[in-house]
Amino acid sequence: MTNLYFEDAEIGTSCTVGAYLVTKNEIIQFAKQYDPMPRHIDEEAAARSIFGGLSASSAHTFSIYILLSKKLQPRLHVLAGLGWDELKLRPDDELGLETTTLEKRESKSKPDRGILRNRVLLRNQRRETVLECISTIFVARRPNT
Amino acid sequence: MTNLYFEDAEIGTSCTVGAYLVTKNEIIQFAKQYDPMPRHIDEEAAARSIFGGLSASSAHTFSIYILLSKKLQPRLHVLAGLGWDELKLRPDDELGLETTTLEKRESKSKPDRGILRNRVLLRNQRRETVLECISTIFVARRPNT
């Protein structure tokens, strides 16, 4: 399957991928390296946190979103992520991703690329949203042939 | 050193921590698990990317920001991260964090906590900004004694 170029993106298109099962071990291993707070690495301390149990680090949830976003079909020729607006996160355990294209525009200064804005939703197995944001990405324009 | 409560936070206070040196090996190991794109794991492919060299995954940069944020002094009784606005990232290698408190307000529904908004800047060794955002966090209010 070939990757889509900027020109192929259509406003309103939705894509989904998942579910990704986050294990307790993965939560603890990730948190030990990047977010070693008791609520992320110690089940007893986690039970006393405002989440009432072990929760993935926000950085971990964001990482799983990035991982799943690279698995969306059809794939885009993404050049880089530019920004994320209104990013909200809560931890959870089994995650599926949904993106919807909101806007597309050509770069004014770089003729090789366009800019897409997407509504991003990461949901758990109960369809509760655990991450939502608006992403902005560079996508390659189709080369002249 | 005791952790600060919501009441202790003052608008305009800045805190800094770092530098954190991101090794090539750490970039590749992180990306293999959460962002296995050639530009993050293969130096030759990375040289052809729009970054012109190996770059950390956005998820990795965000994770380092979370790691450094837990090392800021003085420490706050943070209950949870609520959201990140206007998050912008670019990859780099040696990172220092600066946060500035922008707003504080008491929670209307939960008397045990307040809400802080902070301007966040992660800079590299050339003082270029590699991550910026506005974070929103729950911070514990001082218990009645």
What does the DSSP 8-state code read for residue B137? E
Residue B122 has pLDDT above 90, yes or no: no
Q: Which residues make Cβ contacts (< 8 Å) with residue A123, sequence separation at least 6?
A: A95, A96, A98, A129, A130
- Chain A residues whose CB is inside 8 A of the B72 CB are none
Helix (H, G, I), strand (E, B) or coil at B108: coil
Q: Say how far apart CA A20 and CA A53 lie, in whole Å.
A: 19
Which ipTM did the prediction report?
Answer: 0.75
B54-110 confidence digits (pLDDT tens): 888 888 888 988 888 888 888 888 777 767 777 776 665 677 888 888 898 998 998
pLDDT band at B22 (very low <50, low <70, confident <90, very high): confident
Mean of the per-residue pLDDT values for chain A? 83
Asked if the C-beta of B25 comes within 8 angstroms of chain A's C-beta atoms, the answer is no
| Mean pLDDT score, A54-59 | 83
pLDDT bin (cut points 50, 70, 90) of residue B3 is: confident
Give the one of A34, A49, A51 whose C-beta lies nearest to B63's C-beta. Answer: A34
Q: Does A81 touch chain B (CB under 8 A)?
A: yes
- Give the residue from B114, B92, B110 showing the smallest Cα distance to B101: B114
Q: Per-residue pLDDT for A89 more than 70?
A: no
> How confident is the model over A133-141, as a mean pLDDT?
85
pLDDT the model gives residue A96: 82
Contacts of A87 (CB under 8 A, 6+ apart): A62, A131, A132, A133, B83, B84, B85, B87, B133
C-alpha to C-alpha distance for A137 and A119, rounded to whole angstroms: 12
Q: What pTM value is reported for the model?
A: 0.79
Rounded Cα gap, residues B62 and A131, in angstroms: 14
Strand partners for B65: none
Distance from CA of B30 to the nearest CA of A (A): 9
Is the separation of the CB atoms in B137 and B81 below 8 Å?
yes
- Using a 10 angstrom Cβ sphere, with 0-12 exposed, 13-18 middle and 19 or more buried, the burial of residue A70 is middle
Cα gap B95→B128, rounded to integer Å: 10
Q: What is the pLDDT of residue A34?
A: 93
Give the model's confidence band at B33: pLDDT under 50 very low, under 70 low, under 90 confident, else very high. very high
Q: B91 CA to chain A: closest CA distance, Å?
A: 10
With contact defined as beta carbons under 8 Å apart, do A59 and A27 qualify? no
Q: Mean pLDDT across the stretch A1-21? A: 82
Residues 6+ apart with CB under 8 A from A100: A12, A13, A14, A118, A119
d(CA A85, CA A92): 21
In this predicted structure, the answer to whether residue A25 has a pLDDT above a threshold of 80 is yes
